[in-house]
Amino acid sequence: MTVVLKLGGSVVTEKDTPDTVDGPALADAADAIAASGVDDLVLVHGGGSFGHPHAAAYGVSRTDGTREATAIREIHGAMRTLNDAVCDALCERGVSAVPHHPHSAGVRDADGTLSLSVDAVAAKRDEGFVPVLHGDVVTHVGAGATVVSGDELVVALADGLDAERVGVCSTVSGVLDDEGAVIPAIENYADVERYLGGSDDTDVTGGMAAKVRALLGLRAPASVFGPDAVGDFLDGETPGTVIR
Ligand code: IP8
């Protein structure tokens, strides 16, 4: 049973300090993953204070591209640095985490539709590794290169690998309504649109609204939950908000 889990960039980095890992938060998430014993796990992490400030500095988003190799290498390089930190934390705890860089595995067509080759991800999973992907910058036909968010990767992986469970760990304990209460289930974007503002931080990929939209496109149900619930999710529970 394949499980796809995304660790939000805001969870594993100090979002207000550029290029800085949140060591204790990453350690907690890695502890929960190591303790879970889930066999077929595929991980994704977001950009946080690594990818987003570099992408914003060059004006690169999911739709605005760059043709500057320097920009592409800087954004991708920042994400590789964070990916190394995530893989290190997992390997230190006995999880066979290996990097998988979307920059070399994905492309957008002229309409912006993402294609992500999942064969190599499946092969890593089948060989007992935990592939760790990340938000990145990918070639975009007609636009140079644009950002791909971790949420888009979650959708591509979940469908491409026929995942049975999808989890998205955010800094909040689910999708919240206007009184700060967790919305237990979302089946329709229009029902919750009024609650979903943009992200407060430098987030070039759209915050919770984009996340909910992307997850509504999945075949498998997805759970959005906070950092304290990673272990519960991996144990088979559905904490936070279920999106289907
Ligand atoms: O934090 C964005 O990934 P996200 C990655 O999952 C970059 O939206 C490079 C900004």
Residue 169, pLDDT > 80, answer yes
Average of pLDDT values for 110-132?
98
Q: Chain-wide mean pLDDT for the chain? A: 94
Residue type, 81: T
Choice from 147, 152, 200, 212 to test ligand 1 binding pocket (greatest atom count within 8 A of CB): 147
The pTM of the full predicted model, rounded to 2 decimals, is 0.95
Report how far apart the first and last C-alpha atoms of the chain are (Å, whole number): 18
Confidence of residue 198 (pLDDT cuts 50, 70, 90): low
Query: CA dist 35 to 23, 32, 98, 232, 235, Å?
Result: 18, 5, 18, 11, 10
Residue 174, pLDDT > 70, answer yes
CB atoms closer than 10 angstroms to residue 237: 12
Residue 203, pLDDT > 80, answer no
Q: pLDDT above 90 covers what percent of the chain? A: 90
Choice from 205, 208, 212 to test ligand 1 binding pocket (greatest atom count within 8 A of CB): 205
Q: Which residue's CA is the closest to the ligand 1 atom numbered 8?
A: 149
Residue 204, pLDDT > 80, answer no
Whole-number Å distance, alpha carbon 147 to ligand 1 midpoint, is 7
Residue 79 Cβ < 6 Å to ligand 1: yes
Residue 75 Cβ < 6 Å to ligand 1: yes
Average of pLDDT values for 168-187?
95
Residue 205 Cβ < 6 Å to ligand 1: yes
The residue among 241 and 196 whose pLDDT is bigger is 241
For residue 15, what pLDDT is reported? 82
Average of pLDDT values for 73-86?
98
